[in-house]
Amino acid sequence: MTSQTATALGKLGHPDGELNLTKAAAKHGVIQMIPTLASCAFDELVDAAQPGQVQFLQLYVNKDRAITKKFVQHAEKRGIKGLFITVDAPQLGRREKDMRQKFEAEDPAEVTGNNQESKVDRSQGAARAISSFIDPGLDWKDIPWFQSITKMPLILKGVQCWEDALQAYDLGLAGVVLSNHGGRQLDFSRSGIEVLVEVVRELRARRGLSFPNEKFQLFVDGGVRRANDVLKAVALGATAVGVGRPFLYAFSSYGFEGVDHALQILHDEFEMNMRLLGARTLKEVVPEMVDASSLQSHIVAVPGDRLYDSNYESMQHARLREVKSKM
């Protein structure tokens, strides 16, 4: 019910980058979603997987579809079990924290197509430096093309409304990821758990679907910090929940051991919370266990980012110099 969702540039936090996630996922039986913009080579991460270990691929679609086709078909040959096509990043949001950081790592040219390092603009932060290849014209009419080049299940990542989830179902896709891209794209966009409630309601009413559903799966990521976050999503109809930042923090501080410990904490919490809920199996984790009535009540004030404030030096403000007059 828990997977490692795609997070880019792992080596900015630890020399082994996403390999920490691959190893920990194998130990704990958790699915790893390999990001297009991983700092480790794709084949390196697949080679590091244990026999039978399940890996997904998150895809940013290249303007040059030949590059995308080659990458997707190579992933399928290597045994990737699901293709998660990101649809909420036709342009990256203004990530001011990211823009303040220095970035000197190499561009992952095998998927971006930027084989000449001089093409990469590093003045706007790491994310923008390596994302200029993303096709902003990606549209629903491209879905048949993806269906023609691979037999992998296709999932749209970054869906924010029930209408898009319904269209994805009608087009024969395997599912959607309800996500606001970690809150870094459009300010005040709704959380995945909030969208989940209306997607389940509308697809039940309009297509007679019940969730969780093997034919059309609903994934949620963003804001997952504890096992009770996972259980809330499962109770409301999610197939699985993606965890991102907690694992980034864990391996940036402690490498593989950090992710290993984080997953053990989640496992222990999951077992404890199910006992406290009185649920012996996941089938007994039902919507009635979650009060979702306040999901539509939004807090107007923007919360402070204590993690950022405690780790980075604040911007200095201009000060007026006091001038003493001579009498």
Tell me if 238 sits within 8 A of 218, measured CB to CB: yes
Annotated binding site: which residue ranges? 6-8, 58, 60, 86, 95, 157, 179, 181, 184, 221-225, 244-245
Under 8 Å between Cβ of 38 and 5: no
Gap between the Cα atoms of 162 and 232, Å rounded: 19
- Contacts of residue 100, defined as CB under 8 A and 6 or more positions apart, other chains included, come to 125, 312
For the annotated binding site for FMN, the residues are 6-8, 58, 86, 157, 179, 221-225, 244-245
Can you list the pairs that 246-253 forms with residues at least 24 positions away whose Cβ atoms lie under 8 Å? 247/4, 247/7, 247/21, 247/24, 248/7, 248/10, 248/13, 251/10, 251/13, 251/14, 251/16, 251/20, 251/21, 251/24, 252/13, 252/14
Q: Are 22 and 54 in contact (CB under 8 A)?
A: no
Residue closest to 85 by CA, chosen among 133, 36, 18, 22: 36
- Sequence ranges of the binding site for glyoxylate: 60, 95, 181, 184
Query: Alpha carbon of 322 to those of 317, 319, 325: distances in Å?
Result: 15, 9, 10
- Residues 215, 218, 219, 224: is their CA dihedral positive or negative? negative
The catalytic residues are 181
Could you tell me the two tokens for 230? 């996972």
Please give the angle made by the CA atoms of 303, 304 and 308, to the nearest 5 degrees.
140
Give the position of tokens 């979650």. 290
Q: Are 210 and 253 spatial neighbours (Cβ–Cβ below 8 Å)?
A: no
Return the closest-CA partner of residue 197 out of 220, 180, 175, 216. 220
- For residue 201, the one-letter residue type is R
